[in-house]
Chains A and B, each alone.
Chain A
């Protein structure tokens, strides 16, 4: 069953049977189970990651449904994390899927991520991304940033000590979030797919792409090659 399930994927030369075997040994923590997090978690489960934790203390709202695929109207008011656990487990029972209905804070983030091979960013604010970045650098756990706005998404894989960290690129960005963020319904699926691929590359030890910017309306894809900032207050003192 397992071989059949992943057969078409293992035929992909960039991935292969070896990639499939490696992926099955890996553990991801998805922080945030909304537009990006739910799509990326779904892809990782379907593709055969070994284990996945999905952390979110929010419940499904009708305003989530235009940009998510896993949730339905009957899920409104229920825990996003627990609904994702239930539905994604049903998709692939080989994968250990655990929904954690908890708010991520500076007190609990280390325990949530320290055993993970990668953190997947499904959050919706800058402050939490700075917290993830801090925990990533402290615990040497890589993460994959992704964000969306209107028709534009950004993705960047971050390996502490090796690649630029989030603080390297966001040092001028205030931690406060703007109000309600406009998002085209088709955007998170596209950006989560790119985020998933960067996550896979990170887990398989393949080179990451850099800062990716994709506009789904203009169909404009850009990659920005960036380097670590030696003056970065978060990772500047780390050796590569």
Chain B
């Protein structure tokens, strides 16, 4: 299935676009999308376990399944400096 993923922050700069289509196998999860994103943009490997990912505007864990038509966003991790 094809999932359209909207990217934010520096991911948008890295990808040079704000929407990316990923081809994910049926029954796939957010983790499959992250893996595909990191494979395409290896600079993001450092964020792999900490990316903020939303599905249909709700931030969810990386093992959450995705389905056709889901609106997924990838955002760099929460920043913590003060």
A positions within 8 Å CB-CB of B? 32, 34-37, 121-126, 129, 146-149, 152-154, 164, 168-174, 177-178, 181-183, 188, 211, 213, 215, 218, 220, 222, 224-231
Cross-interface CB contact of B77 among A173, A182, A188, A229, cutoff 8 Å: A173
Proximity string of chain B (29-62) to chain A, C-beta cutoff 8 Å, 1 when within and 0 when not = 0000000000000000000011111100111111
Q: Which residues of A contact B27 (CB under 8 A)?
A: none
The answer to whether B75 and A229 touch across the interface, beta carbons within 8 angstroms, is: no
Tell me, in angstroms, the Cα distance from A176 to B25 when the chains sit together.
34
Instruction: Give the shortest distance, in Å, between B34 (CB) and chain A (any CB).
Output: 10
A172-B61 CB under 8 A given contacts A124-B82, A152-B79: yes
State how many residues of chain B have any CB contact under 8 Å with chain A: 26
The answer to whether A170 and B81 touch across the interface, beta carbons within 8 angstroms, is: no
The answer to whether A129 and B80 touch across the interface, beta carbons within 8 angstroms, is: yes
The answer to whether B80 and A124 touch across the interface, beta carbons within 8 angstroms, is: yes
The answer to whether B9 and A213 touch across the interface, beta carbons within 8 angstroms, is: yes
The answer to whether B49 and A172 touch across the interface, beta carbons within 8 angstroms, is: yes
Instruction: Give the shortest distance, in Å, between A35 (CB) and chain B (any CB).
Output: 6
Complex A-B, nearest 7 residue pairs according to Cβ-Cβ distance, in ascending order: A124-B82, A181-B81, A149-B79, A147-B79, A148-B81, A227-B57, A169-B59
